[in-house]
């Protein structure tokens, strides 16, 4: 393949993770950043390193592990100064986790849940911390009426719902996520936004309903 020709390949629409070991590989925060970089287009390790602002030597182990577990694939190779340079792409546009890993009868259920929760919260914490450090969060909160300011909202709320209401809210959330995912696909020049969603029943051993309602509503809403 010529040096100026980008490799063309078609990743699977969805790939299902069916084993805990692959889930462990995927749920590392740095590997999630690598995955996000390669979901845009195939890149070399050096190109990914420049995007993530880390040394390439820090990424080779992680990229090789992701390839071994079928998360990444080599889509192109070329020889540069006598060294084989590989260009990597994702094996799927989206990765889903087999629900059986979370079933109460599964021996891996507890660790599976812990990995998913830890990964989601670690990524959220890291991304918000970077927004704070670079001043983006402050601009969003302080200039909500500025059309050029970034849009940002963090919220946690507790409400009492009937089973029917809970299912209705769930349907609305799913519809919102699907609409969000479909917006401006294939428009790399637009700014990226993250939508983080969680809907779940309060654990039975939590505080009383009154204490829960009074102590946990948090809303950073510019």
Residues 6 and 21: their CA atoms lie apart, in Å, by 32
Query: Looking at the domain assignment, is residue 93 inside a domain?
Result: yes
Indicate whether 9 belongs to any domain: yes
How far is residue 216's CA from residue 188's CA, in Å, rounded to a whole number?
Answer: 37
Q: Which two tokens stand for residue 193?
A: 């936004």
With contact defined as beta carbons under 8 Å apart, do 43 and 88 qualify?
yes
Local confidence pLDDT in tens for the 222 residues of the chain: 445 455 578 899 999 999 889 998 988 889 989 998 998 889 999 999 999 999 999 999 999 999 999 999 999 998 888 888 899 999 998 898 888 888 777 777 888 888 888 878 888 888 899 899 999 888 888 877 888 888 898 888 899 999 999 999 999 999 999 999 888 776 778 888 999 999 999 888 765 555 454 444 545 554
163 lies in some domain: no
Judge whether 173 lies within some domain: no
What does the pLDDT read at residue 124?
A: 87
Residue 183 inside a domain? The answer is: no
Q: With beta carbons less than 8 A apart as the criterion, state whether 101 and 112 touch.
A: yes
Name the domain count of the chain: 1
Q: Is 186 within the bounds of a domain?
A: no
Q: Are 32 and 119 in contact (CB under 8 A)?
A: yes
Q: What is the pLDDT of residue 145?
A: 82
**Is residue 151, in this structure, part of any structural domain at all?**
no
CB 94 within 8 A of CB 11: no
CATH number at 79 reads: 1.10.10.10
Cβ(122)–Cβ(116) below 8 Å: no
pLDDT at position 106: 73
> What pLDDT is stored for residue 149 in this prediction?
86
């Amino acid at each position: 393949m010529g040096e100026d020709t980008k490799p063309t390949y078609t990743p699977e629409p969805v790939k299902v993770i069916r084993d805990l070991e692959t889930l462990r590989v995927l749920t590392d925060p740095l590997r999630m950043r690598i995955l996000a970089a390669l979901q845009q287009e195939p890149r070399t390790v050096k190109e990914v390193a420049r995007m993530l602002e880390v040394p390439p030597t820090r990424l080779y182990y992680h990229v090789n592990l992701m390839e071994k577990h079928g998360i990444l694939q080599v889509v192109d190779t070329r020889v540069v100064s006598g060294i084989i340079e590989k260009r990597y792409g994702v094996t799927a546009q989206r990765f889903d986790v087999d629900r059986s890993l979370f079933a109460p009868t599964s021996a891996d259920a507890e660790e599976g849940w812990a990995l998913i929760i830890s990964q989601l919260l670690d990524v959220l914490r890291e991304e918000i911390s970077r927004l704070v450090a670079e001043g983006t969060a402050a601009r969003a909160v302080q200039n909500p009426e500025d059309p050029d300011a970034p849009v940002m909202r963090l919220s946690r709320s507790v409400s009492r719902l009937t089973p029917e209401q809970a299912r209705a809210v769930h349907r609305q959330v799913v519809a919102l996520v699907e609409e969000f995912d479909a917006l401006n696909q294939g428009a790399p020049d637009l700014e990226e936004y993250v939508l983080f969603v969680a809907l779940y029943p309060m654990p039975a051993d939590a505080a009383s309903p009154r204490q829960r309602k009074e102590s946990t509503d948090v809303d950073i809403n510019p």
